[in-house]
Each structure stands twice: as C-alpha cells, then as structure tokens.
Amino acid sequence: MVKSRPGQAAGPGPSPGGAPAAGGLECGLGGGFQLTEAQFSKLASLVYSLCGIHLGEGKRELLRARLAKRLRATGCRDVQDYIERLEGDRSGHELVCFLDVITTNKTDFFREPKHFEFLVDEVLPKLDKLCSGGEPQRIWSAACSTGEEPYTLAMVLLEHRALWERRGAGILASDLSTKVLEQAQNGVYAQDRVTDIPRPFLTKYFQRGTNRWAGYVRVRPELRKMVQYRRLNLMDNFDFDKPFHVIFCRNVMIYFDKPTQERLVEKFRNCLVQGGFLMVGHSESLTGIRHRLAFTRPAVYRRQD
Ligand SMILES: C[S@@+](CC[C@H](N)C(=O)[O-])C[C@H]1O[C@@H](n2cnc3c(N)ncnc32)[C@H](O)[C@@H]1O
C-alpha cells in the first residue's frame, strides 16, 4: 500500500514520532568519544543561533549522545573533526542533518485534547465573525513534527465539515526538521502510534497496511489533502500572504529562552487575524514574558487588536 517505508519505521532508531534515541547507539562511539566543555559550548551556540534552542550545560550528555549518530553517518573521527566538517559545509546539508538530530520530536495524535475541543466548541461555530468576507479558514501547525498534530486538526475539521464547508479551510504544517517533515508527508504510522485515535476515526481516515506493511496504517488521501507541508524555521521572518485564524505552536517554545519566546509570540501575533487564536502547549504558559495577546483560557491566547 505504501511506496516507501519511512526511515524511522524500519529497524532500530527513534520510535515513530518519538524523540531521537539518546542512548544504545551501536556506533562504536557510544561511550568512547569526548565532548569537551569548549566543544559543547561552540555547538550549543551554533544551535542557539540557528534555531533558538537553548542547550544549557545540563544537556551536554544529551548532545553527546545525539552527535554519535552524525559522527557515525559522516565517518568523522571525533567531535573536533565533526565541527570542522560543519564549519566547512557550504551546501548546508550537514547543518540540516545536525539540526535533525538535535530537535526533540515527541508528539501524539489528539495530544492535549482540550485545544481540539476548544476549536470545535468555540472557534468553528464563530467563523463568520473571525473570517472576513467568507474567506477560507487558515490554521497553522507551526512545529508539526511527524504530522500527528496537523492530521488530528484535519480529522477534527472533517468531522465538522458543515461549520466551514461554505468558506473552505486549510492547514499549513511546518517544522524545522526535514526528517520529520518527510515522515509527516508520508503519513505512515506504526500501529502503536495510533492507539489514542478513536476507533471510528481510525477506520474512516486511515488505511490498514497489508503484507509487508502489516502493523502500519496510512492516512487516507482526503486527510492528506487538507494539509500543506513546508520547512520553516521559527527563528526566520514570516512571509505569509495572508494571516491565520488559528496558530498551534505547542511544545516547542519550551526549548527557547525568554527573549526568543517573546520575539516569536510577537511574530505570531502579527500574522494572526484580529480575534485569531494562538494555542501553546499546556506546560508553556506565556506568564513571565511580555506579549500583546489576551489570555483566553489555559494555553489559549487571542489577538484582540
Ligand atoms: C516536541 S515537538 C512538538 C510537536 C507538536 N507540536 C506537539 O505538540 O505534539 C517540537 C518540534 O519543534 C520543532 N522545532 C524545534 N525548533 C524549531 C524551530 N526553530 N523552527 C521550527 N520548528 C522547530 C522540532 O523539529 C520538533 O518537531
């Protein structure tokens, strides 16, 4: 049923949709290579400047474990050798691969379900007020990881089609990591990743794999069609033609420091329609950072002016 197996699904490696494995790597480097304080600090500043992720000193072992993968893939002798390769990488390819192993991609279908209930109860029924002139509803899943969040949004929209069908709706899903975007676009998930999806939704929106795909499901084309994927670094300037009605940016700001969070929330505000909503992870309240959004309920903020 599926043309190519997603890399994560075959053999050892990160669990589908889960964080990259931090240990148990059979690279011959497992415990054997050093990441000095100076090297850690150089790589941590590179990560911060490229994608805003703040790696405190406590993350040294995590970085070391994740680097093991890149050292093995590139054949670098040690971290110094790898740093030189990164610095001399004119194509940008190794930088992308490096960021792919740095990012934590844990996600789930129907994660933090209150946001989806809010969408159904409070946003979709009031679209006429939110979307001027009968324009389509635009939702952005701004750190979509392996696709579970945008596909959940798509299922919720399709289940309540009558509320938006006249005007239309679309979901933009973006992430920094090319690896997770590829998995999201494939839309293939191991059976154990879909256990939280209500059974009627599973039957309606997923195809069960057979033969060598037994144990996997794939999103059906109607779900896939609702979502447009794009690589986007949240640290960059946003260049959208039209503002969004709802932005989901969940469980990523937690990796950024306060000044970075402030700049990001301001950028989100500026690409929301007046009255539009920003949903953040439930452990990511905007308390303690300066912003111009109105608190609506836990983990939900609204642009008022
Ligand atoms: C833990 S996942 C969250 C996925 C989903 N939003 C959820 O709540 O289940 C965080 C995602 O943020 C992405 N990310 C990290 N830094 C980013 C950046 N600067 N720009 C865009 N995406 C980034 C990672 O690649 C990862 O897929």
pLDDT in tens, 66-95: 999 999 999 999 999 999 999 999 899 999
Give the closest residue (by CA) to ligand 1 atom 9: 107
Please state the domain extents for the chain. Answer: 21-102, 114-302
For residues 267 and 75, what is the distance between their CA atoms, to the nearest angstrom?
A: 40
pLDDT in tens, 180-192: 999 999 999 999 9
CATH architecture of 21-102: Orthogonal Bundle (1.10)
Single out the residue of 171, 140, 142 nearest to residue 157, CA to CA.
171
pTM of the model: 0.89
pLDDT in tens, 21-34: 322 222 334 457 89
Torsion sign across C-alpha atoms 141, 144, 147, 148: negative
SS3 category, 173:
strand
pLDDT at 296 over 70: yes
Transcribe 199-234 into DSSP letters: HHHHHHHEEEP-GGGTTEEEE-HHHHTTEEEEE--T
Q: Which atom of ligand 1 is nearest to the CA of 232?
A: 21
In this structure, whether the domain defined by 114-302 belongs to CATH 3.30.70.20 is answered with: no
Kindly state if the Cβ of 234 falls inside 6 Å of ligand 1: yes
Kindly state if the Cβ of 50 falls inside 6 Å of ligand 1: no
Distance 145 CA to ligand 1 centre (A): 6
Percent of the chain scoring above 70 in pLDDT: 90
| CA 98 distance to own-chain centroid | 16
Kindly state if the Cβ of 17 falls inside 6 Å of ligand 1: no
Longest dimension (CA), the chain: 63
For residues 244 and 201, what is the distance between their CA atoms, to the nearest angstrom?
A: 26
At residue 285, the pLDDT reads: 86
